[in-house]
């Protein structure tokens, strides 16, 4: 089979656009999908999700193939025989690109491109393409660029190795592209280092913003959930905001913070965060660290679940896996089964709520079930606080500021003996205030 002429001439005068030049984006590219799913029961879910990702990326699916493997082939992932069988199918539908629904090594990707005679990408690169399209703020663009370059760096070697093989320089140590390869890799590494420094600054700014919020008498929560579960719609309904929503995947990349008012008049700050997905690329988790710290720093989480999805358990577990990776899985969590208006089996929905601790069902779009969610938020917040009655010496007045910052101050009476305070505070602060307690 003839070798494709893949040129390693990748200009990196602007290395942040490396991925775009290696894989130029076209309108409605025609793609052929390859599913390698070991569990037949998940076929429909896996295939529907990959099609949805392609639709979000603006790609046209023109062919599909499924394969069962206990483990991937080291050289081609799907096996050389299977790849050679797919070659005429890919050519017949004139596919511009083949997408494998898993992660490929640079070697597997290169070998598949040799056999299929067309560009091949994996699930991670598809998600990166979507994130690149959806990033609008400076922070979002920096995070996506870092994730893309981290992904592309090991693949540079694959491009140059292919070029050297095609050039046919036998007995020549190194190769005609070796110097250019090292230059390009150095430029990419330098750009990655620059991006990491810029994102460290972003992380510091976000930390300062969170500290500023902590000085307000409001607890802080974060909405988490699978992509398209309805987090942004719920935040709009709770706060009266008009945050952008979209039926496609990953509509929200940049966190948005809004204040909501609970039934007792207490205010809460809620943050909308990027949606999670099955097998979320680790490069994205690392690149979006500053954004995802909104989750790790929250006092409580609202896990929004699409109750109408037939595989909601898979989606729930995918979210919990990412929360565990972030170290946030032990935080107080309210589970909000959203899109209840689309659920036909209401008995099963009520059973889910009964079986899930601290759960409600609702329709964010129709604003149904919102009072129940508000009450769960209020109950959750109260569980985080402990009532105290203390008398603070004026020399310890800074502790009163902490009561405002880390709890709810009901009364603060300035007397000759000190400041008499009745409040609800966090358990850690309550321990600190023990020496100043007075009888109720």
* Higher-pLDDT residue of 56, 178: 56
Q: In whole angstroms, what is the distance from residue 384 CA to residue 377 CA?
A: 11
Q: What is the pLDDT of residues 198-223, one digit of tens each?
A: 988 887 887 777 666 555 556 789 99
Residue 94 has pLDDT above 90, yes or no: yes
Name 146's Cβ contacts closer than 8 Å, sequence gap at least 6.
Answer: 192, 195, 196, 199, 287
Residue 297 has pLDDT above 90, yes or no: no
Instruction: Please give the domain boundaries of the chain with CATH numbers for all domains.
Output: 15-191 (3.40.50.11060), 216-382 (3.40.50.300), 385-436 (no CATH)
* Higher-pLDDT residue of 346, 205: 346
* Higher-pLDDT residue of 133, 313: 313
Residue 63 has pLDDT above 90, yes or no: yes
Sheet (strand 418-426) strand order = 385-392, 418-426, 407-415
74: buried, middle or exposed (CB in 10 Å: 19+, 13-18, 0-12)? Answer: exposed
The whole-number pLDDT of residue 6 equals 41
Percent of the chain with pLDDT over 70: 83
Q: Which two tokens stand for residue 32?
A: 């052929």
Average pLDDT of span 87-111: 94
Residue 350 has pLDDT above 90, yes or no: yes
| DSSP secondary structure code for residue 207 in this structure | H
Phi, psi of 290 (to 5 degrees): -60, -40
What mean pLDDT, rounded, does the chain reach? 83
The whole-number pLDDT of residue 158 equals 58
The whole-number pLDDT of residue 223 equals 94
- CA 101-282-31 angle, to 5 degrees, is 25
Q: What is the pLDDT of residues 148-188, one digit of tens each?
A: 998 888 887 655 555 454 444 444 444 555 577 788 888 98
């020399």: which residue's tokens? 395
The whole-number pLDDT of residue 27 equals 64
Interstrand relation of 119-122 and 97-100 (parallel, antiparallel or unpaired): parallel
pTM comes to 0.77
Q: In whole angstroms, what is the distance from residue 216 CA to residue 269 CA?
A: 10
Q: What is the pLDDT of residues 3-31, one digit of tens each?
A: 444 434 344 444 444 444 445 545 689 99
Cβ pair 37, 43 in contact under 8 A: yes
The whole-number pLDDT of residue 14 equals 43
Average pLDDT of span 364-389: 92
Q: In whole angstroms, what is the distance from residue 18 CA to residue 141 CA?
A: 14
Q: In whole angstroms, what is the distance from residue 405 CA to residue 383 CA?
A: 17
Give Rg (Cα) of the chain.
Answer: 27
Q: Which of 39, 106, 116, 108 is nearest to 72 (CA)?
A: 108
pLDDT category at 139 given cuts 50, 70, 90 is confident
Q: In whole angstroms, what is the distance from residue 159 CA to residue 18 CA?
A: 13
Q: Comparing 9-13, 36-40, 134-138, 391-395, which segment has the lowest mean pLDDT?
A: 9-13
Residue 106 has pLDDT above 60, yes or no: yes
Residue 110 has pLDDT above 70, yes or no: yes
Q: Which two tokens stand for residue 140?
A: 């979002």
Residue 253 has pLDDT above 80, yes or no: no
* Higher-pLDDT residue of 20, 116: 116
Cβ pair 276, 304 in contact under 8 A: no
The whole-number pLDDT of residue 420 equals 95
141: buried, middle or exposed (CB in 10 Å: 19+, 13-18, 0-12)? Answer: middle
């Amino acid at each position: 089979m003839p070798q494709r002429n893949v040129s390693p001439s990748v200009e990196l005068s602007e290395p942040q656009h490396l991925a775009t030049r290696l894989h130029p984006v076209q309108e409605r590219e025609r793609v052929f999908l390859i599913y390698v799913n070991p569990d037949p029961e998940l076929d429909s879910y896996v295939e529907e999700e990959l099609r949805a990702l392609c639709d979000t990326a603006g790609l046209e699916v023109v062919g599909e193939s499924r394969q069962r493997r206990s483990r991937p082939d080291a050289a081609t992932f799907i096996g050389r025989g299977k790849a050679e069988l797919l070659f005429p199918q890919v050519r017949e539908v004139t596919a511009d690109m083949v997408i494998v629904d898993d992660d490929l090594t640079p070697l597997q990707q290169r070998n598949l491109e040799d056999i299929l005679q067309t560009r091949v990408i994996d699930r991670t690169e598809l998600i990166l393409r979507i994130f690149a399209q959806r990033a609008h703020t400076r922070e979002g663009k920096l995070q996506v660029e870092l994730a893309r370059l981290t992904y592309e760096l090991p693949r540079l070697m694959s491009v140059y190795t292919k070029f050297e093989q095609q050039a046919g320089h036998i007995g020549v140590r190194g190769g005609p592209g070796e110097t250019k390869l090292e230059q390009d890799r150095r430029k990419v590494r330098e750009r990655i280092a620059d991006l990491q420094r810029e994102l460290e600054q972003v992380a510091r700014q976000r930390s300062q913003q969170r500290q500023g919020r902590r000085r307000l008498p409001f607890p802080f929560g974060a909405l988490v959930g699978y992509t398209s579960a309805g987090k942004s719609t719920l935040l709009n309904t709770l706060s009266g905001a008009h945050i952008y929503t979209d039926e496609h995947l990953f509509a929200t990349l940049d966190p948005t913070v809004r204040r909501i008012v609970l039934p007792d008049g207490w205010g809460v700050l809620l943050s909308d965060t990027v949606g999670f997905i099955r097998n979320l690329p680790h490069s994205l988790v690392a690149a979006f660290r500053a954004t995802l710290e909104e989750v790790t720093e929250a006092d409580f989480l609202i896990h929004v679940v699409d109750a109408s999805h037939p595989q909601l358990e898979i989606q729930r577990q995918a979210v919990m896996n990412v929360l565990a990776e972030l170290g946030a899985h032990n935080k107080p969590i309210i589970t909000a089964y959203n899109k209840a208006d689309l659920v036909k089996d209401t008995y099963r929905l009520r059973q889910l709520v009964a079986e899930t601790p601290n759960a409600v069902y609702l329709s964010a779009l129709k604003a149904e079930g919102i009072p129940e969610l508000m009450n769960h938020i209020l109950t959750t917040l109260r569980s985080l606080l402990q009532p105290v009655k203390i008398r603070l010496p004026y020399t310890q007045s800074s502790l009163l500021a902490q009561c405002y910052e880390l709890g709810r101050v009901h009364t603060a009476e300035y007397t000759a003996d000190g400041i008499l305070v009745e409040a609800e505070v966090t358990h850690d602060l309550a321990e600190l205030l023990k020496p100043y307690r007075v009888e109720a």
